Amino acid sequence: MPELPEIETVRLQLSEVLPGRIIERVEVLKQKSFIGDKQLIEGKKVIGVDRKAKLLLIDIEGQIDLAIHFKMTGQLIYADKNRRIAGGHPTGDFTGDLPSKHTRVIFHLDRGTLYFNDQRIFGWVRTGTKEEIRQMKFLQELGPEPPEIDEAEFQKILIKIKKPIKLALMDQTRISGVGNIYANDACWEARINPRRLANTLTRKQYSDLYNGLIKVLKEGIKYGGATAADAKYIDLHGLGGHYQEHFRVYDREGEECLREDGGIIHKYAMGGRGTYFCPKCQG
């Protein structure tokens, strides 16, 4: 569930258990999922857990970072004899036997175990010195994330982009952290058609969009991110977030618009991603 609120939720949860732990051994089950030298972190202590947009950064003693990108289906599960903390793409792996068939990397800790699972193998785990990680192309090209830019800066960035507003919001090199769910919901909040070109909004629309985006991102974090609606087994164990119960338009095709204007949420593909909107209030 890789979007800023979901990764932030994972960060907050892991911050409760990882600091102070020693990574005794790293077991790589899928070579494609691991980049770098595992010996850089073996035997080292975890200092803290940070995040940059959708990238999770685990701070390791000795100026080392462990960067983890979830992409579409990555998940991180911490398990010890007392509890299990899971975040990322919601699947039965959260509560089933570990390692599962999707486990790609296992971090054996002095107390507990951290599993990196990734169904589609798009995600990656990477080790490096803090400098090496900072120099990564991905981080170098990342734009600012919404909470750290104000309304004026937000407008300044978007007015230079000549593509549909929803795609502009999802362009990580311009604005980072926003993915498909929150881009869809932010457009609804601001009553803007997702297809509208980013450089053609009115002053008020930039303002509404900025506020709408901040609102849905904050709400996403508040509810612990989104978890697939069909992941009941996860809710039963208290391992899932609840933003999905507050979706404005995402995954609501055919349902009534929340504004009670009688609109029915439509869905179509734009940029290869599901795009949802209400033809009445986002016409």
Give the residue numbers marked as catalytic: 2-3, 54, 273
Beta bridge partners of 103: 117
By CB under 7 A, residue 71 contacts DNA? yes
By CB under 7 A, residue 185 contacts DNA? no
Tokens representing residue 107 in the block: 């971090």
Beta bridge partners of 113: 79, 108
197: amino acid identity, one letter: L
In angstroms, the Cα distances linking 28 to 1, 107, 109, 117, 282 are 22, 9, 14, 11, 47
What's the full length of the chain, in residues? 283
Q: Binding to DNA (CB under 7 A): which residues in 198-227?
A: 225-227
Tokens representing residue 236 in the block: 């039963």
- In the list 134, 163, 191, 242, the residue contacting DNA (rule: CB under 7 A) is 163
Q: Using CB under 7 A, which of the segments 57-65, 83-91, 145-153, 205-213 binds DNA?
A: 83-91
Q: Using CB under 7 A, which of the segments 21-29, 77-85, 89-97, 204-212 binds DNA?
A: 89-97
In angstroms, the Cα distances linking 132 to 17, 42, 65, 70, 93 are 26, 18, 9, 20, 32
By CB under 7 A, residue 161 contacts DNA? yes
- In the list 181, 192, 201, 221, the residue contacting DNA (rule: CB under 7 A) is 181
By CB under 7 A, residue 128 contacts DNA? no
52: amino acid identity, one letter: K
Q: What residues line the site for DNA (CB under 7 A)? A: 1-3, 6, 32, 53-54, 69-72, 89-91, 101, 119-122, 124, 137-138, 160-164, 167, 170, 172, 179-181, 225-228, 230, 244, 250-251, 269, 271-274
